[in-house]
Chain A
Amino acid sequence: MLHEPTRLRSILLSSMIPRLALLITVLSITLFGLSFHFVIKQTDNLQQQSVDGLEQDINYIVNDTTRQLADLAANDIIINALVDLEQRDNYLPMFFRSLNLTQAESVEFALFDFAGNRIIDKNWQAALPESLSNAWRQQTLGSSNTFSSVSKYGVLISVPVLLQGVAEGALVMYVDSLQSLLAPYPRLTNQLVTDKDSHVLFSSEPTLIAPGTRFSDFNARGYAIKKASWTNLNLYSVKPTTTAYREVAWTGIVLVTMIVGFIFIVLHMVSKTGALAERTLSQLYQGIKNTLNSEDKKPLIDTKQIEAKELADIREAFDKLIWDLSEVSLSNEQFSNVLESMGDMLVVVDQNKNILLSNKRFDDFCENQYGDKKSILKSITQKLASVQNNELRHFSMKEGKELYIQWTKTSLSDANGNIRGDIYVGSDETEQRSLESHVKVLTHAMDEATVSIIISDIKRIGQPVIYVNNAFEALTGFTRDEIIGKNCRVLQTNETDSEALNNIRHAIATREPIETTLINAKKDGTPFFNRLNLTPVKINGEVTHYIGFQQDVTQQRQTETYLQEAREKAEESARLKSSFLASMSHEIRTPIHGISGVLQLLASSELSEEQKHYLSLAKFSIQGLLHIVNDILDFSKIEAGQLQIEQSPFDILDSLENLQRQYAIMCQEKGLELHFHFDLQGFHVVRGDDVRFRQILSNLLGNAVKFTDEGYIEVTTSIKQNADDTLTLLCRVKDTGIGIAQDKQKKIFDVFTQEDLSTTRKFGGTGLGLSISKQLCELMGGEIKLDSIKGQGSTFSFSVELEKADEDLLTTSYSTATHKQEKGKKYKVLIVEDNDINQIIVKQHLSHHTTLSAKSGREALDALRKMKVTFDVILMDCQMPEMDGFEATKRIREGEAGARYADVPIIALTANAMKGDKERCVSAGMDDYLSKPFDAEDLIEKVEYWATVEKITTATPLL
């Protein structure tokens, strides 16, 4: 600012002002002319708009009112009023009072009937001339059309009230003058409506032109008038011309103000621009000067001051230039540092092979060779000229080994492209060479390995195979060329187990090793079982490859599958056999039950002694047959895993004494002695399966009696308390019978085995008894053993696990019900049984009572519902066609047979063949059960007991 402080600004001002003045003059004249033109045009437009607006308003008033009136006329209250002469006075006046269609106050409405007589009105004071009165009647009542009229008589609109398209009346609206209808609308100019005779019907400025006067009498001088016509009316817009010119004058004042303002702004801007340029240029000058003097790299900028971008760019360019200059001196030092730090040797020579530059590596190399640089370089250049490749072998004196150096020669050229010498760069390849040979050895080893090896690069897209060995080719039939670069997925087939594949994918995704076996296909499509071992290869802590070892285990697999199938078949056939036996036994039991029942019935009839004898023989045979069937059933249950061991308290002493009583008679008959020895340690009541225990012991006792002709039988029973508080029962049955040969003893517990065929012939029996006993012992946590000498007798000893039980736990029969049995009373019993014979037997057994039978659960339900008598007890067979006993019981308990039977005693008749029968009886809601075949006494006792029981609600079933 010190240098010529006013020069730049004064140049700008002196050159700008004259031009600016000329421009402004031309501009203002043009603007003024244009605005005058537009103001005049604007006035004309305004007039036109005003007239258009007026036309719209009238149109709107007439059309919209007509439409509203027509809507009203279609209102069913109006229509109904024409018909309902009697009561319309109740609702029509109210409806009419609420009518209001326009903003005008003096609106008159009336409803006329078909003859033109007024029915009802609102403010109706219309004094219409005859012509108008006839006109609307003719149009609306005569021709069923709407009618509207705007005239000096006012505005009248009539619409027909239609019934099936013909006017039955008319709704008429009348306003005495157009003035009142149009008055509320805002006006752009003064507006007039006249009829064709120039009568003023409406004037927006009544002080200027009064309604009712004639417009033709109006002095129009000094007014611009725009005219339009609408039906029989003329519409005018009247605007004083003086107002138009006043607007032009206003425009002129605004323009002059704007121009003056414009000049001031321009002058101000010029002066400001000059000042800004001056300041920036002088700052730039100062900045350069400071930088050069103080070498302070930061340019002096007062950033707070405003600066033009172009000027700022210039200064930045200057700053950069200064910066670059200071940088060049640094790069020379850096260059030599770079050369020294290079891993390779570098030597630069001129055209005369004089060394211009060499780095430390090269110097070290020369020292290693014990030679001076120049001679070594010379030998290198000579060697390079003589060999094809650029690799030279040098012997390292210090390390005593050969070095492999790869030499590269580049020409040294100056900036003009002239060759000034050569640059030699030598890199040490020794380590790489030794690695290469190492890799070769490994590769050969892998190639020749007998296990198929495959390597995939999992970092590349598609995880392609990068290596396979010869064994892989031999195994899969794919050659290296065919497989490398592809994904090993080509080995997969449709049969490949998707789970195995998922496991592999998962392992690869988590970078884990995996060993799995899956079906793959060879190149020719042959599937094979591939035992695949995948191992991840980690490089720098990251898994990059997977190595797979493959082994064809097809043969092994096939063998395994074959064995598996064979085992399943064997198990299946065993199962089939058991279930066949179980169902057969069950089927056989039913007829046995029949026979047994019939025999019981026979026994109670009058018989001769001989007949009684025959009957006892038959009964004996049935017992034997039943015994065999039960054995088979037990056996097949055990085989099928359906046999359940009970865990309930029982009195073991009681059981043993019972058995003693039972077998004492048999022994007496055969002339044998029977001794029972107990050592129960005070555990009379124990928890276990009483029935099965007795079955085992009774089997052994039975055998002993059967196979002993003279001597004695001794039963020793002892109970031992174990450390875990359980009990072990040891039982030994010793006889002095025929004994069993040593070599047969092992097989004696097998199924269908007796000592030999002659024994079978002599003594009979199924050979199942011991086998069952053995299985039962094992099921009860014990074992059975035999100690025997042929001809001297046998000793069978067995053990079973028991638990301690409290004497109080013994369920005394029927303890949960109050019981008032009356002998000889007749009860009503419903027998539900599908088997005719069984039905007859039960009926006969219960001949002292009243019985009724049903053949299925369905029939039973029907009978219970329909019969008037109330049954005391229901005997329910479990297996029945149509509806079985379980379902029927459930339904009775749910009250389907009526509320009176919801708690009726139900006794199940079960064949007791299948596991879970008992549980099903309980859950179905049965109270007790009888296992077929049953004795008449048992049946009668149970029926009579339950018939008299008054069940208490909490009674637990006795099953």
Chain B
Amino acid sequence: MRSKLLISVFFCLSSLLIACRATQAAEPLIIGVDADLSAVAVEGGIAITRGVELAIDEINASGGILGREVRIIAKDHRGNPSRGVFNIQQFSEMPNLLAVVGGVHTPVVLAEIDVIHRENILMLVPWAAGTSIVDNGHEPNNVFRVSVRDAEAASVLIGHAKQKGLSKVALVLERTVWGRSNLESLQHAASANGVSITSVHWINWQQKDFSEDITAIKSADAEGIILVSNVPEGVVVVDEMLKQNIASLPVISHWGIASGQFISALANPTGDYDISVLQTFHFSQQKNSKAKQLLDAYYKKYGLTDIHAISGVTGLAHAYDLIHLIAAAADKAGSIETDKLRSALESLENIQGAVKDYHIPFTADRHDALWSKDYFMTEYNKKGQLVTVGQ
């Protein structure tokens, strides 16, 4: 996976160099990618990188930003917040940095918030959903997000549970700041929707045994489980459910498990599961011209594939839209200074993206571009691919 990525990065860089020589002599602008490219959410990291690459290809093909070519530099934080902080520190020392695109993990991005503001660089978030990433208390706020916002996600997850006729659910949350961020919003949404929470269970990263918690969930007669975790922990939870004969209990998952190959990692990938996953983008859901353009470009660059087989497709689309938004902002600001770019981003209007038509993507008070009405639920088909509910 890593070698494939390196090859693609290399290919990208070499093509950029050629383009560079052809157009102008000014130094290329840099868009950093700070994501997990080798540990627990590799598919998410790659999808984000590809979204950035595809957008940059389009931008460079139409003359770059402010006439300057754009380059991508990807750094691997392996889901480790300390590495993330280290990466951001390194990016901040690059003179031509336009912005940094973050990765899947909320804990990593949250750990980076202070250094981002200290060094005054822009952070574009295409995945990490923690509410406090955007509501971080910094003024001015350098974080812009095209992704799910946990506070909003909770109402969609609970709403879906209610729609499925569940009145009692158990929460399974990863023991990180992301899990905690969701606990609050889920509790709030549950009480607002009249769904009762039977119990709350925490799971550590790389935890291998979840049997006592599943036993407790069973004995509490929960009618469903709301899952907020990444793939490895999600697999431990669902495998334990199978072991204790409640595999068919509905699992309504935040999209963490969509950041990797979830179904194939299960002990029994062909089991009779009822797992629905929150998503914001799917090629079979969004049929606008920008989405089609993205899909064509994807096919062209990474080869033909089933649209259901593109994993981490949301990261792809979010990153793609974010790059186009920052490009539009740079054009509007006529500068790459962080403060001017921030103001320009906050005043953009009517940008057609792959995910949706952004009427006013961001304002000074609202750095989240997507809201609950932009979310929808998907399910895994027999091949372990996500399909929109009802498909």
Contact = CB atoms under 8 A, between A and B. Distances in A.
Q: Do these two chains interact? A: yes
A87 to B, nearest CB: 7
Interface stretch (B73-81, B277-285, B286-294, B318-326): B73-81
A738 B98 CA distance: 139
B11 interface: no
B82 A84 contact: no
Contacts of B107: 83-86
Nearest to A168: B80
B200 interface: no
Contact of B176 (A77, A80, A113): A80
Interface residues of A, number: 19
A79 interface: yes
A226 to B, nearest CB: 47
B83 interface: yes
A27 to B, nearest CB: 70
A170 to B, nearest CB: 13
A84 to B, nearest CB: 5
A82 interface: yes
A79 B204 contact: yes
B81 to A, nearest CB: 5
Given A114-B82, A163-B80, A79 B110 contact: no
Interface string B359-381: 00000000000000000000000
A77 B107 CA distance: 16
A84 B83 contact: no
B204 A77 contact: yes
B10 interface: no
B205 A79 contact: yes
Interface in A694-708: none
B86 interface: yes
A96 to B, nearest CB: 16
A90 to B, nearest CB: 10
B180 interface: yes
A77 B40 CA distance: 17
A76 B207 contact: yes
Given A76-B205, A82-B80, A85-B111, A164 B176 contact: no
B208 A164 contact: no
Given A80-B175, A83-B176, A86-B107, A115 B86 contact: yes
B177 interface: yes
Contacts of A82: 80-82, 205
Contacts of B40: 163-164
Given A76-B206, A77-B204, A164-B40, A83 B79 contact: yes
A307 to B, nearest CB: 79
A166 B77 CA distance: 12
A113 B83 CA distance: 9
A164 B81 contact: no
Contacts of A77: 204
Interface string B198-223: 00000011111000000000000000
A87 B205 contact: no
A235 to B, nearest CB: 40
B176 A84 contact: yes
A166 B204 CA distance: 18
A113 B208 CA distance: 22
Contacts of B82: 82, 85, 113-115, 117
Contacts of B176: 80, 83-84, 86-87
B309 interface: no
Contact of B206 (A79, A86, A114, A117): A79
B261 interface: no
Contacts of A115: 82, 86
A74 B86 CA distance: 24
B130 to A, nearest CB: 11
A139 to B, nearest CB: 19
Given A80-B176, A85-B107, A163 B79 contact: yes
Interface in B74-123: 78-83, 86, 105, 107, 110-111
Interface residues of B, number: 23
Given A115-B82, A168-B80, A80 B39 contact: no
Contacts of A84: 107, 175-177, 205
Interface in A359-383: none
B38 interface: yes
Nearest to B107: A83
Interface of B is mostly: loop
Contacts of B204: 76-77, 79-80
Nearest to B132: A86
B39 A166 contact: yes
B177 A86 contact: yes
A151 B347 CA distance: 65
Contacts of B78: 163-164, 166, 168
A85 B176 CA distance: 8
Interface in B177-194: 177, 180
Which of A84, A86, A87, A113 has the largest number of chain B CB atoms within 10 A?
A: A84
B39 A163 contact: yes
B115 to A, nearest CB: 13
A766 B111 CA distance: 114
Nearest to A113: B82
Nearest to B232: A164
Given A79-B205, A87-B177, A114 B83 contact: yes
A113 B79 CA distance: 13
A80 to B, nearest CB: 4
Contacts of A85: 81-82, 107, 111, 177
A416 B294 CA distance: 136
Contacts of B80: 82-83, 113-114, 163, 168
A77 B209 CA distance: 12
Contacts of A117: 82
A74 B81 CA distance: 19
Contacts of A80: 175-176, 204-207
Interface string A149-168: 00000000000000110101
A589 to B, nearest CB: 60
A401 to B, nearest CB: 105
A83 B40 CA distance: 12
Contacts of A87: 175-177, 180
Contact of A76 (B39, B110, B177, B208): B208
A117 B81 CA distance: 13
B39 A164 contact: yes
Contacts of B207: 76, 80
Nearest to B175: A80
B157 to A, nearest CB: 22
Interface string A287-322: 000000000000000000000000000000000000
A680 B263 CA distance: 100
Contacts of B79: 83, 163
Nearest to A164: B39
Interface in B51-66: none
Interface string A56-86: 0000000000000000001011011011111
A131 to B, nearest CB: 25
A83 B86 CA distance: 14
A80 B79 CA distance: 11
Nearest to A80: B204
Contacts of B177: 84-87
B41 to A, nearest CB: 10
Contacts of B180: 86-87
A85 B109 CA distance: 11
Interface in B140-181: 175-177, 180
A295 to B, nearest CB: 98
Contact of A164 (B38, B86, B110, B111): B38
Interface of B: 38-40, 78-83, 86, 105, 107, 110-111, 175-177, 180, 204-208
15 contacts: A76-B204, A79-B205, A80-B205, A80-B206, A83-B107, A84-B176, A85-B107, A85-B111, A86-B107, A86-B176, A86-B180, A114-B83, A117-B82, A163-B40, A164-B39
Ranked nearest first, the 5 interchain pairs of A and B with the lowest CB-CB distance are A76-B204, A80-B204, A76-B207, A164-B39, A79-B206
